[in-house]
Amino acid sequence: MGSLVTALASFCDIKQRGGDWFVRIDDIDPLRIDPNALEHITKSLAAHGLSGDGPMQLQSHRLTEYAAARDQLADLCYFCNCSRKQLQGGRLYPGYCRHKQTFAPDHAVRVTADHKPRQFLDRHKGPYPFVANEHFGDFIIWRRDDLVTYHLATAYDDGHTHSHVLRGEDLFEMTAPQLFLMEKLGLNPPEYTHIPVLAFPDGTKLSKRTHAPALNTATPEANLRNALHLLGQQPPKATFSVGQWLDWAITYWRFDAIPQALAPFSEADYD
């Protein structure tokens, strides 16, 4: 349900503004990707009538572009092989490897953060000022096992491909380092909107990992109505088809009705 809520919000929001909606799958980490996930997402979106204006975009298909982006940042980067233990869970990287300018195997690529004050405006959460070397410090853009990191891949895609990004606020903190990378890559950042994510009463995000109930794709009409309700919209008690629900949702979509927190999932949401 959590991913349907975010997908539906971004769909309604961009469609009401006359834009195109694209689905991007962030599938760069082979260790964390369930091989059935792609099929599952595709089926679930299709069951709810949510089809993208263009093919689904897979980050795993852009590895060459990400490597080029990494090389473009070479002057700002150094190689690092610090272990987790060495860093002892410190919040900011202490800079032990800053002198390592030559490639070596089994080293990550770390980008140097600067002290320039920056700010971005989130459409839902408002202005967010940040200073790179205080907020996130030097961070890894390429892993020691030779994989692009989520930060670099996402910064590249957001700056390169998208004009508007609407996603769950669990990704809000990631925005500042990604904007930093976009600026260094000379890319124009999109407009960012972070909306609340569906959470258990204790604040844990609803996901497969936290054993949230799976979305029943056999009841897409009820799911859409339920998702709209959670998003603070006021869906009528109607027996609409999937297409009629989406038409209603785009027509009556009110961005400013999205609540500051989404009510926890309960049976009552199926009223």
Beta carbon nearer to Zn ion, 63 or 73: 73
DSSP 152: H
Q: Is 80 in the site for Zn ion (CB under 5 A)?
A: yes
Residue nearer to Zn ion on the CB measure, 47 or 77: 77
Q: Are 81 and 144 in contact (CB under 8 A)?
A: yes
Q: Does 185 bind Zn ion (CB under 5 A)?
A: no
Nearest distance, CB of residue 105 and Zn ion, angstroms: 15
Whole-angstrom CA distances from 153 to 27, 67, 71, 161 are 10, 9, 13, 12
Nearest C-alpha neighbor of 66 from the set 105, 116, 27, 93:
27
Record the tokens describing residue 237, joined without a space. 């008690």
Looking at the Cβ atoms of 80 and 198, the one nearer to Zn ion is: 80
Residues numbered 188 to 207 that lie near Zn ion (CB under 5 A) are none
Stretch that binds Zn ion, among 5-13, 44-52, 75-83, 256-264 (CB under 5 A): 75-83
Q: What is the distance between the alpha carbons of residues 184 and 110, in angstroms, rounded to a whole number?
A: 14
**One of 63, 82, 140, 174 touching Zn ion (CB under 5 A):** 82
We find the least distance from the C-beta atom of residue 111 to Zn ion, in angstroms, to be: 13
Distance of closest approach, residue 131 Cβ to Zn ion, in angstroms? 22
**Nearest CB to Zn ion, comparing residues 80 and 165:** 80
Nearest Cα to Cα of residue 151 among 184, 199, 196: 184
Helices (H), 73-205: 84-87, 132-135, 150-161, 175-184
Rank residues 93 and 192 by Cβ distance to Zn ion and give the closer one.
Answer: 93
CA distance 119 to 128: 5
| 228 contributes a contact to Zn ion by CB under 5 A | no
Contacting range for Zn ion; rule: CB under 5 A; set: 78-86, 133-141, 155-163, 203-211: 78-86
DSSP string over 203-242: SPBPSTTTTPPPP-TT-HHHHHHHHHHHTT----S----H
Tell the smallest beta-carbon distance from residue 94 to Zn ion (Å).
Answer: 8
Minimum distance between the CB of residue 29 and Zn ion, rounded to whole angstroms?
21
Q: Closer to Zn ion at the Cβ: 139 or 255?
A: 139
Near Zn ion in 86-145, by CB under 5 A:
96-97
Binding region for Zn ion (CB under 5 A) out of 15-23, 76-84, 197-205, 243-251 = 76-84
Residue 72 near residue 108 (C-beta atoms within 8 A): no
Stretch that binds Zn ion, among 72-80, 118-126, 185-193, 226-234 (CB under 5 A): 72-80
CA distances from 119 to 10, 136, 226 (A): 23, 14, 35
Least gap, CB of 210 to Zn ion (angstroms): 33
Instruction: Please report, as ranges, the residues that interact with Zn ion according to CB under 5 A.
Output: 80, 82, 96-97
